């Protein structure tokens, strides 16, 4: 498990990050240790050209699209940066199966074939059996169903796979151990290593697609990017048969959240993404509607997975449109509008990733 190596890797990174590094940007392959030099390089234009060339080679002109679907905002965690945190006195909802069908039908009619099911973290109110049924309903509408929920064990993931689960998204949120404890003061999510191990439980259970990431703004973004690179390097070497994606979300305003986030500029985030893509040319970069329209437009072709037309509140597409969101989104385009834009750039917006 990566959690068994995390202490040693963090010590190495904290020591190495203080030094100066160099890498030949023309070399054919990069190693994980090259992340230090790539993050110090100022040759962003050259790096971007190489990334686009690699993407053309491995993914063609395809940009894979998906839509999130929030089915519950019940949560027992105290994550201080989240609109769904337990201490927020908001209307708590869990969609019933008829409401879920209504939301899914809306997405299906919009052209969606890959849905990401999201919940707050509350195993009592949103148990594995409920998730199983949601996924099973999802497979009636969509070709791919992924899940972003609370940490489960290997047997639970096997059960969900039997319902049709394709992939799992699980952000570590931050690799900074001390900050992690401060940001997650109570609830099951406060267990750093348990969360870190979750991805491997899902892989061992048999999921085909994995998406990891950090929330930029919670800790030093350079450190986070380096740790993300070492985590991905470990996953690729240990479980090479999996289809991997990495998300690079920046923290956005959320209901009743007062937190002094680390600011990450557009240029800095693009730099992190380009460095990562040079290390891992076969790994998808996933950019969500957290980011604004102009930023996402600029990254079409660099990012090969993107959400579209997203709602981040429970039942937000057709039923409860005006209730509290988990976080704010900035790209307000509909799915149809985003598809038209992707096509206008000469890319093929694909709804299914035939892994």
* Residue 147 covered by a domain: yes
Q: How many CA atoms lie within 13 A of 298 on its CB side?
A: 13
* Residue 65 covered by a domain: yes
More confident residue, 157 or 355: 157
Closest CA to 2 of 210, 220, 150, 279: 210
Number of domains in the chain: 1
* Residue 105 covered by a domain: yes
For the residues 219-245, what does the mean pLDDT come to? 98
What's the pLDDT tens digit per position in 80-90? Answer: 998 888 888 88
Closest CA to 275 of 14, 32, 9: 32
Q: How far apart are CA 91 and CA 236, in angstroms?
A: 41
Number of other CB atoms surrounding residue 98 within 10 Å? 8
Q: How far apart are CA 200 and CA 231, in angstroms?
A: 11
* Residue 27 covered by a domain: yes
Q: How far apart are CA 20 and CA 49, in angstroms?
A: 24
DSSP output for 128-163: HHHHHHHHHHHHHH-SEEEEE-S---HHHHHHHHHH
- Which of 41-50, 178-187, 240-249, 315-324 shows the lowest per-residue confidence on average (mean pLDDT)? 315-324
Is 300 strand, coil or helix?
strand
What element of type H or E holds 68? strand 62-72
For the residues 139-166, what does the mean pLDDT come to? 97
* Residue 355 covered by a domain: no
Name the residue with tokens 């999802």: 138
Q: How far apart are the first and last CA of the chain?
A: 24
Q: Give the pLDDT of residue 32.
A: 96
Give me the CATH number covering residue 127.
Answer: 3.20.20.70
Closest CA to 207 of 240, 237, 235, 167: 167
* Residue 314 covered by a domain: yes
What's the pLDDT tens digit per position in 262-297? Answer: 889 999 999 999 999 999 999 999 999 989 999 999
Name the residue with tokens 């957290």: 290
DSSP output for 274-290: HHHHHH-TTSEEEE-TT
For the residues 18-44, what does the mean pLDDT come to? 94
Print the domain residue range for 266.
2-350
């Amino acid at each position: 498990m990566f959690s068994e190596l995390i202490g040693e890797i963090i010590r190495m990174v904290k020591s190495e990050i203080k030094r100066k590094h160099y890498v030949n940007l023309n070399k054919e392959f990069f190693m994980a240790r090259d992340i230090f030099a790539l993050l110090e390089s100022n040759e962003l234009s050259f790096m971007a050209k190489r990334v686009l060339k690699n993407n053309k080679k491995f993914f063609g002109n395809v940009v894979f699209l998906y839509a999130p679907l929030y089915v519950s905002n019940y949560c027992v965690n105290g994550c201080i940066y989240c609109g769904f945190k337990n201490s927020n006195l908001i209307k708590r909802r869990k969609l019933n199966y008829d409401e879920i069908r209504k939301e899914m039908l809306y997405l299906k009619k919009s052209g969606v074939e890959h849905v990401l099911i999201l919940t707050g973290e509350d195993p009592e109110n949103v148990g594995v059996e409920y998730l199983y049924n949601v996924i099973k309903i999802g497979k009636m509408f969509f070709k791919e169903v992924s899940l972003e929920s609370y940490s489960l064990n290997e047997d639970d993931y096997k059960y969900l796979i039997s319902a049709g689960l394709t992939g799992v998204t699980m952000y570590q949120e931050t690799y900074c151990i001390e900050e992690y404890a401060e940001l997650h003061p109570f609830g099951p999510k406060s267990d750093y290593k348990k969360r870190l191990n979750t991805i491997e439980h899902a892989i061992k259970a048999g999921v085909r697609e994995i998406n990891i990431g950090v929330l930029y703004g919670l800790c030093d973004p350079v450190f986070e990017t380096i740790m993300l690179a070492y985590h991905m390097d470990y996953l690729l070497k240990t479980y090479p048969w999996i289809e991997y994606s990495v998300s690079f979300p920046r923290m956005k305003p959320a209901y009743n959240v007062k937190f002094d986030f680390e600011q990450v500029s557009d240029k800095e985030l693009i730099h992190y993404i380009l460095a990562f893509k040079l290390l891992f040319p076969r790994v998808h970069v996933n950019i969500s509607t957290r980011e604004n329209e102009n930023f996402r437009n600029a990254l079409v072709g660099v990012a090969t997975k993107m959400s579209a037309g997203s709602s981040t509140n429970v039942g937000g597409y057709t039923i409860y449109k005006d209730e509290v969101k988990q976080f704010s989104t900035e790209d307000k385009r509909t799915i149809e509008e985003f598809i038209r834009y992707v096509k206008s750039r000469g890319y093929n917006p694909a709804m299914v990733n035939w892994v």
